[in-house]
Amino acid sequence: MINYRQAVKGDAPRLKEIAKRVISTNYLPFLGVENIATFIESGMSDKEIDDGLNDCTLLTLDGQIIGFTITYGNVLHLMMIDTPFQRAGYGSALLSHIEIAKGMRCVTHALCYNQNLVAQADAV
């Protein structure tokens, strides 16, 4: 069963695992191996989670965290769905939940979209 809840400090390790897996898998086509390794090894990926933990909403499936968002006010800063659960509607469900819960309308915008051939192919 799908549920949503606010993140707590104890969730940070799982969120960091998800973020690293998503970055390593999904960002590879447009960032490359070296840039991804540099970003993750720098600790910036973990810092994003630590900095946004108080503004983080989790998506759980049968009690397991499978995705999350970080919102600052009415800005969706970050959204990630763990790789085994992608392309199954969980991202759409999480986005809809955030829009209702936060009273906001999210407009998707990918700064790197022009270089992201995988995303472009999926959009067709």
In this prediction, residue 107 carries a pLDDT of 58
Cβ proximity of 29 and 116 under 8 Å:
yes
Neighbours of 30 (CB within 10 A): 16
Listing from the earlier edge strand, what are the strands of the sheet with 75-81? 2-6, 56-61, 64-72, 75-81
pLDDT tens-place string over residues 10-69: 999 999 999 999 998 888 887 888 888 888 899 999 999 999 999 999 999 999 999 999
Residue with the bigger pLDDT between 11 and 72: it is 11
Token code pair at residue 58: 């989790």
Q: What is the mean pLDDT of the chain?
A: 86
Helix 28-41 / helix 12-26 crossing angle, nearest 10 deg: 140
Say if residue 54 is exposed, middle or buried (CB neighbours under 10 Å; 0-12, 13-18, 19+). exposed
In this prediction, residue 113 carries a pLDDT of 42
Distance CA 37, CA 32 (A): 9
Domains recognised in the chain with CATH numbers: 2-123 (3.40.630.30)
8-state DSSP, 104: -
pTM: 0.82
